[in-house]
Structure 1
Amino acid sequence: MGRPVTAALGLALHPPPAPHLVVALSGGRDSVSLLHALVAQRAGAVSAVHVHHGLQAAADRFAAHCEAICAVWKVPLLVRQVAVTRSGDGLEADARRARYAALAEAVPPAAVLVTAHHAGDQAETVLMRVLRGTGPDGLAGMRVQGVTAHGTPVWRPWLSITPQQIAAYAQSQALVWIDDPHNEDPAFTRVWLRRHLLPQIETRYPAAQAALVRLAGLMAERAPAPETVIERQTDWGRCWPLDAAARLPEPERREALRGWLRSRLGQVPSAAMLARVEREVVRAGRGRHPALRIRGVTLRRHRQGLYATDDLLPLQPRVWSGTAWVELPGWGCFTADTAPEAPLTVRAARPGERIRPRGSAQHQRISTLMHARGVPAWLRHRVPVLACGDQVVALADWRLSDRAPAGLRWQPADGWTGSF
């Protein structure tokens, strides 16, 4: 048993897709086995990252175990502690989102994230997507090489390796790992599939796992559908153009929307999710400002564009004085040719606040001006103002008074690029 299994697992690790490999190390059997096999082949080109979710009493023990084996194997290790924000999508989804955000930060340029997903995980993924009403792309399951929702390149070299083969390898190498109690809790969908549904299916179809993995491979080999709808760059960020999509036959339009959502949400949307996006956002009536939060992303519609936006951080007021620039965390920064002559307060526009544009005898609501300039509803409260006392002297880089410094420029944070 030992040599054939070791050879099969080792062969799957060739060729590596990057000069440096960062292993996602949980401390469980699969990731410990993967790290061991990679170190045996590519010592010096492998590091590891462990994400400490803090969701159970044993979390510290997991981290300590990872530190211990990495010290013995001389593998550099990063331990990232995360706070799992509950979004209503379920603990599995929330923890996964926090984990992949932390993993993305730990993978340097020219490196690739390596995960220990195996054939059992692939079968569970395909079955779960079938039950959720996935489309053709969803039936392809996980790809051997891909990109996470955060843009991190990921390699899953053991997708064709069975969990039994990994268990045999771990035993033959006398590896030590920690079993996660969450992997035995049927309250989690994957555990229920693994412990209850798949064993029931296999009583009638013994080769069900292999068949699901084969289905994923066949679907992944399909010729990719032509990219019928291309994202459009607007003053407010990139969007999925609803007007261009509307010219497609309905099946193609829905498939294009499914693909865009997958790229933005980091997972294949279920049929129910796709229908909800259509109903609540895509088909929203004129004058409405829909906002649908899914998987940590808020989907919004503005005119003929569908936008995927992140959380909008509040702007904490600050004083700009003595320098020709001021940073606004989460909002961008102001720069000017010179420092303000008098201290200015940088803050968010207040609800109902009015300003008097240059050359106008009338005061106008800031929200009205934003609407006239086509600023999306969700960004109208994300426009910084410069104030001298109670007087607004600039709205973003639109100077309303000589008290605003000359050459005023506002560089927004990611999310929109409009100016005034």
Structure 2
Amino acid sequence: MINSSDTGPLTGAPEIESSWFASLPLIIQKALQSIPVASHYYVALSGGLDSSLLLQLSNRYLRESREASLIAIHVHHGISQHADQWQSHCEAICHQSGVELVVRKVELKSSKKGVEEAARAARYSVFEQILPSDAVLLQGHHQNDQAETVLLRLMRGAGVKGLAGIPKTRALNSALIHRPFLAVSRSELLSLAEAWGVSWVEDDSNASVDYDRNYIRHEVIPKLESRWESAVSRLAVSSEHCRESAELEEALAKIDLVGITQDVFGPALSIAGLTQLPLSRQRNAVRYWLQHQRLGFPGEKRFQRIWTELLTARADANPLVEWPLGAVRRYRDAIFGLSANDISAQSDCITSNIVVDGWSTSKTDSALSDGLTKRELMIFKQSVMGRQYALRMVDSVNASISDVVTETEEVNIQPVKRLLVKAPADQVQVSIKFRQGGELFKPVGRHHHKPLKKWLHECNVPPWLRDSIPLLYYNESLVAMGDLLVADGFQGGSNSRNLEISWGQKLDHNQL
């Protein structure tokens, strides 16, 4: 029975007055009421105690309070010899409850962090594939899981963000993961499951203390509880305090990064600006910046090298700190973050030449005379070094002088976001190449040809990117360097057809 005048304190969902719900412990009632309102509900079902009980309770609650159905997801890892039996158990309880079950079998990839981490990665990959937008995935993590996680991370030297433990709610792409039982102890769930007659399976690997988490579960926590009553709940409280501190650290990092964050040739931090901060705030800002760029954390020893090697290096040095997810490099007064994909793409570009074909001046003249837009006159568009490199044919009657680089002082060469070059004549081969070494180049407004390396240096292009800057060629003539400089004699005109060059922001770039 639904009472439409009352709503849940956390979700806005209507309360139910059924006797079964009223008979539940208050902490379980609040746990179910905490489930966020969504269009689709899923539950991660392993077949164990916590997920089997969660299936029964959440299915009944959602049907009665929100008239919503629930779909269960079971991931068959194939690790245990009993894996097929666990799947059969999940099928049986879902059939009894009238819940749709989705089963996915996965093959675990080798992981230096072990089987547990590989299995976790496989599960979340399945969740990402299945969950639609505006979905909530329920997981059965409980207070004991939280305590184990805090102790594990404490032994690994984690900071407050790590000691915050398992979040109750977090995003997974455009869906949400929610753990309603996180404040409930396993003993409370066990008592309720037995009272409800819920059946579950036990993972035989849970008994092995060879796994760190199992060692903490069977050896450490019982000793803590024998000495300090409610040790598990106290650890959970500490994790909440750490979560609040982590949120404050993140807020401070965002404040400190304002004004010292750059993005010219990738995400970078001003060293001069960074070193004005106290050391603790420097570390906090860099840690947040790396995680925001999806570079993860390099480990404490590598992280410390940013201060002992990068920030203290000579102005002409280019030190590197690298780890599996990426790297940090220094160039001039900035440190740059590079993902593993960035690093791989640089080497791929060195020998790749791209021919631009399928168009002619006469065709584009006709299209322009028909009034088509620049977007419709796209000549070429392709990702180069994770940035979108594009050539558009432009009717430049209204082109302004700012569209072309015309600085006369060498020290004033600056990157521009848009460059106009004279359109090629028919029969001219247009291609995109990459620096091989020895190329000479004379930009607009300059008196002499100089090696391309010189102009790249003056445009502040970091050395590790110089071989992957797209170079536009007409036949064998170098016409433009990225979207930075145009060669003398090839500048766009105000009464002619031109090519507009753009080499945009990183496709996966995250704004702070």
TM-score, normalised to structure 2, is: 0.63
Indicate the residue corresponding to 2:263 in structure 1.
234
Structure ranking higher on relative contact order (CA contacts 8 Å, 6+ apart): 1
Indicate the residue corresponding to 2:437 in structure 1.
352
2:321 maps to which of 291, 294, 301 = 291
Q: 1:7 to 1:73 in 2, by over 3 A?
A: farther
CA deviation string 1:83-137 (max 9, x = no partner): 7474x55555565456546645654443444432211121112212322333344
Instruction: Tell me, in whole angstroms, the C-alpha distance in 1 between the residues paired with 2:80 and 2:475.
Output: 50
More deviation, 67-76/407-416:
67-76
Matched, 1:145 2:169: yes
| Residue pairs, 1:164-183, within 5 angstroms | 164-173=187-196, 175=198, 179-180=202-203, 183=206
Indicate the residue corresponding to 2:236 in structure 1.
213
Q: 1:293 to 1:271 in 2, by over 3 A?
A: closer
Please state how far the C-alpha of 1:65 moved relative to its aligned partner. 6.9
Instruction: Tell me, in whole angstroms, the C-alpha distance in 2 between the residues paired with 1:157 and 1:36.
Output: 13
Aligned-partner residue type, residue 392 of structure 2: D
CA deviation string 1:134-158 (max 9, x = no partner): 334443323323456x686543322
Indicate the residue corresponding to 2:146 in structure 1.
122
Q: 1:258 to 1:81 in 2, by over 3 A?
A: same
CA deviation string 1:336-370 (max 9, x = no partner): 334985665556x255363534457536245x543
1:134 maps to which of 158, 164, 169 = 158
Instruction: Tell me, in whole angstroms, the C-alpha distance in 2 between the residues paired with 1:98 and 1:355.
Output: 51
Indicate the residue corresponding to 1:248 in structure 2.
277
Please state how far the C-alpha of 1:159 moved relative to its aligned partner. 1.2
SS in 2 for 1:307: strand
Indicate the residue corresponding to 1:384 in structure 2.
470
Matched, 1:362 2:389: no
Instruction: Tell me, in whole angstroms, the C-alpha distance in 2 between the residues paired with 1:380 and 1:63.
Output: 54
Please state how far the C-alpha of 1:254 moved relative to its aligned partner. 3.5
Instruction: Tell me, in whole angstroms, the C-alpha distance in 2 between the residues paired with 1:161 and 1:135.
Output: 25
**Residues 209 and 218 in structure 2, CA contact (< 8 A), matched pair in contact too:** yes
**Residues 70 and 99 in structure 2, CA contact (< 8 A), matched pair in contact too:** no
Instruction: Tell me, in whole angstroms, the C-alpha distance in 2 between the residues paired with 1:208 and 1:267.
Output: 31
Indicate the residue corresponding to 1:224 in structure 2.
248
Aligned-partner residue type, residue 199 of structure 1: P
Matched, 1:190 2:249: no
1:39 maps to which of 59, 63, 67 = 59
Please state how far the C-alpha of 1:41 moved relative to its aligned partner. 2.0
More deviation, 278-287/210-219:
278-287
Runs of 5+ consecutive residues of structure 1 not aligned to the other structure:
none
**Residues 336 and 407 in structure 1, CA contact (< 8 A), matched pair in contact too:** yes
Q: 1:57 to 1:297 in 2, by over 3 A?
A: farther
Q: 1:254 to 1:27 in 2, by over 3 A?
A: same
Matched, 1:15 2:19: no
What is the total number of aligned residue pairs between the two structures? 411
CA deviation string 1:371-406 (max 9, x = no partner): 432233444444334556766554434555969971
Aligned-partner residue type, residue 189 of structure 1: D
Aligned-partner residue type, residue 320 of structure 1: V
SS in 2 for 1:224: helix
Q: 1:238 to 1:331 in 2, by over 3 A?
A: closer
TM-score, normalised to structure 1, is: 0.74
Aligned-partner residue type, residue 383 of structure 2: L
